Structure 1
Amino acid sequence: MKLPDGWNIDYLDNVTKRGSGHTPNQKYSEYWNGGIKWVSLADSSLLDKRFIICTAKEISEEGLNNSSAVLHPKGTVLMSRDAGVGKSSIMGCDMAVSQHFITWDCKSKNIINNLFLYYWLQAKKGYFERQAVGSTIKTIGLPLFKKLKLPYPPLSEQKAIADLLSTWDEAIEKTERLIQAKERNLKSQIQKIMGRQAIETKGWSEVHLGELFTEVTHKVGEKELTPYSISAGIGFVSQREKWGKNISGSQHKNYIHLKTGEFSYNKGNSKRYQQGCIYLLKEGEICVPNVFISFKPKNKNVVPEFFEHYFIADYHARELKRYITSGARSDGLLNLNKKDFFKIKVPCPSPYEQKAIAEALTALQHEIDLLKQLAEKYKAQKRGLMQKMLTGEWRMKPEIINQYTEA
């Protein structure tokens, strides 16, 4: 590859100090819980966030001395080479790692900025994922890291690039914290408005679902409608997006034609929705498998958006437990027939209350959706910047680089 002016390329081993780790013998309790943070596969969700500060497990000084584990200095870059291949981070304090990780100490040679290396690893994540091999757990072998080459500019420019990319990460992190706060607030509001205690306090009547809704049975037939599935916590997802292909096949004509304002219940259980999940189709027309139970309001006195929030909060679960028989069917779905499904009881406030509550909660959800769109925009901008800045296609202005040289 042709390098930009002033850039070099070298084996990563030549410009950093590579290391790894080990797992102390778990038979000896004295090797564990001794205050030394130890990064393992249990910390996978904490990676890819620039710095890792906490770990799920800790080892002791004795565990360190009686194993091949190494205490790496604060600022060391680490990357997973097993499950969660390519995930990386920078140690926020002195830490040890399991044998599932590779580490690079940048301070020892002072040629590479650790944050610059972190972003380079992030940009190469897809490459690392493709290099992993194995039938059960995919792993990257050590030989790959020995021949890994890093193109890099002078240290001052590395720092400038890393700081620029950090600005985007800080914006993403701030937006995601705001999303989490607003989601907690929305959950709290839903509980206050339609939780069990709220229903009893307000004196709302509770009626069978079948009194307010009727089953949607209209089949697709020859219509050309996109087949969708339902993913817990997400909602309607096209089969092509979920599985990479359309799996409806010859059954497509028997799928249920779903329209705006209609619901569908997926009887598959999940960690978040153990009794299955229900979602409202907010716009358009799609088709869903006929193993889902699809339904729509019987009249205009039923406000779909009110029940959308009720179902997303999983308040239908307590009723479904009464009718779902133990165990799952051979296809993995919960044992529940349609007749019993429409027997579950749901709150039934006046149409005016339904509308007012739905509008208030939907407004809160809209704020969250806008913030999620903003976060995705920041992430897309960051990906574009990484592609340009980490290859030298775009360069930092000399006056900016000089600030880091002087520092």
Structure 2
Amino acid sequence: MSRIINLPTGWKRKRLEKVAIIQTGIAKNQNSKEECIELPYLRVANVQDGYLDLSEIKIINIHKDKVNRYRLENGDVLLTEGGDFDKLGRGAVWEGQIQNCLHQNHVFAVRPNNHELLSSFLSAQTGSSYGKKYFLSCSKQSTNLASINSSQLKAFPVLLPPLSEQKAIATLLSTWDEAIDKTERLIQAKEASLKGQVQKLISQRCDFWPHIKPKKIFDTITEKNLPEEELLSVTQDRGVIPRSMLEGRVMSPDGTTASYKLIKRGDFAISLRSFQGGIEYSNYQGIVSPAYTVLRPKIELNRDFYRLFFKSYIFIEKYLNLAVIGIRDGKQISIPDFLSIKIPVPPFEEQKDIAETLSVCQQEIDLLKQLADKYKTQKRGLMQKMLTGEWRVKPEIVNQYMEA
């Protein structure tokens, strides 16, 4: 670590291996059918940043005598060995959601000594900026990935307040988790409502609207050599935004940006993954990678209508899918094919009416997403201060967690 943290009175600094057992996972299927059994196991994809995604659980064959070696126990802190830079050190606490569940070799199971270290406290500390800085400093790195090994994890310098203070800090952080979870559930409900509105106002009317080829609606913009313009990124969840708004490490252009294309507010961008999430709208002016196709309306249309339509399920499945080429990981949009398919163009006033209705729903979703981001930012700041002892929980609150 680049900065030595001065611990407050009563806190200790210990290597993780001194206060927890670090367990590596099972590497592969066992082949002996007679002595093997099938059990569920967790992979890297199941371990997210602060929570577990159990929507898809794989099964693995394991020798019956080795089950206990890899079986997860309540309170285990699951940590991935690697991933994107901003995901390094991600983990969550296992609470026995699945019976007899194992873990693969790319997921560490850390079993704290509960007399010294609280599972929820450790999970928060490894996932905080303090933890991420440590893992990043000792990790093996490639272009956009980083990984750690068991030796580096064992050496992680845990900052240990008394157990009662750990409990108080973990409880305090959980209130932010509850606020974030509640807000994200509201977002999901609003998005389901918006999807229903799109179905009613767009999907059910599409076949009755005139259809025109995109090349008659949009110009493809190739204006270049504008190095003074702001560098933008094309994202599936936030549209076209400044790169400065992205969290974590973002790869900068290697060399000149002379070939980067100008995009203005109100333009659209076909991204590399548009076959999954649709065409993106730009609220900003700047330059984007030449890998993207920039579209600018050349006829009168309501940009808000097409901003919503280009992200709708019916557009992606019924229209954009006709321009997809390649299979599996090689999929991409064929721009000539896209420009030649016919898409609906409702009367302008109808576009406007639909956009106004749907925009109300979208604005509610956007505000909730901003609120969720605010909660997450507040929690990150709180974690950095509380988990390193820079800020302390009031003694009267800590005393409530003292064991009799």
Structure 2 counterpart of 1:389, one-letter code: M
Q: After superposition, where does 1:286-325 map in structure 2 within 5 Å?
A: 286-288=286-288, 292-299=293-300, 302-313=301-312, 315-317=314-316, 318-320=318-320, 322=322
Q: Does 1:372 align with 2:356?
A: no
Shift of 1:191: 2.1
CA distance 1:223–1:41, shift in 2 (3 Å) = closer
CA distance 1:288–1:78, shift in 2 (3 Å) = closer
Question: Is the partner of 1:112 in helix, strand or coil?
Answer: coil
Deviations 1:348-395 (A, max 9, x none): 333222111101111111111111111111111111111111111111
Distance 1:192 1:22 in 2: 49
Structure 2 counterpart of 1:182, one-letter code: K
Shift of 1:41: 2.4
Shift of 1:86: 1.6
What is aligned with 2:106?
Answer: 100
Q: After superposition, where does 1:310-389 map in structure 2 within 5 Å?
A: 310-313=309-312, 315-317=314-316, 318-320=318-320, 322=322, 326-327=325-326, 334-337=333-336, 341-389=338-386
Verify the 8 A CA contact 1:24 1:69 in the aligned structure 2.
no
CA distance 1:402–1:311, shift in 2 (3 Å) = same
What is aligned with 1:48?
Answer: 49
What is aligned with 2:197?
Answer: 189
Distance 1:58 1:342 in 2: 44
Distance 2:53 2:294 in 1: 44
What is aligned with 1:174?
Answer: 182
Q: After superposition, where does 1:128-277 map in structure 2 within 5 Å?
A: 128-133=135-140, 138-195=146-203, 197-200=204-207, 203-210=208-215, 213-215=217-219, 217=221, 219=223, 224-238=228-242, 243-245=251-253, 249-251=257-259, 255-256=261-262, 258-266=263-271, 268-269=272-273, 272-273=276-277, 277=278
Q: Does 1:65 align with 2:65?
A: yes
What is aligned with 2:279?
Answer: 278
CA distance 1:68–1:24, shift in 2 (3 Å) = farther
Distance 2:341 2:55 in 1: 44
Structure 1 counterpart of 2:79, one-letter code: M
The equivalent position to 2:26 in structure 1, one of 22, 28, 34, is: 22
Shift of 1:147: 3.0
**Mean Cα displacement is larger for which, 109-118 or 96-105?**
96-105
Structure 1 counterpart of 2:78, one-letter code: L
Question: Is the partner of 1:272 in helix, strand or coil?
Answer: helix
Distance 1:233 1:244 in 2: 20
Structure 1 counterpart of 2:182, one-letter code: K
Distance 1:41 1:222 in 2: 41
CA distance 1:296–1:393, shift in 2 (3 Å) = same
For the pair shown, which has the larger CA radius of gyration, 1 or 2? 1
What is aligned with 1:3?
Answer: 7
CA distance 1:188–1:352, shift in 2 (3 Å) = same
Verify the 8 A CA contact 2:275 2:333 in the aligned structure 1.
no
Q: Does 1:121 align with 2:126?
A: yes
Question: Is the partner of 2:258 in helix, strand or coil?
Answer: helix
CA distance 1:308–1:20, shift in 2 (3 Å) = same
Deviations 1:253-278 (A, max 9, x none): xx34x433333434x345614xxx42
Q: Does 1:391 align with 2:392?
A: no
Verify the 8 A CA contact 1:75 1:91 in the aligned structure 2.
yes
What is aligned with 2:74?
Answer: 74
Question: Is the partner of 2:105 in helix, strand or coil?
Answer: coil
- Which blocks of at least 5 consecutive residues in structure 2 are unaligned? none
Aligned residues: 382
Structure 2 counterpart of 1:370, one-letter code: L
Distance 2:78 2:59 in 1: 17
Distance 1:359 1:287 in 2: 29
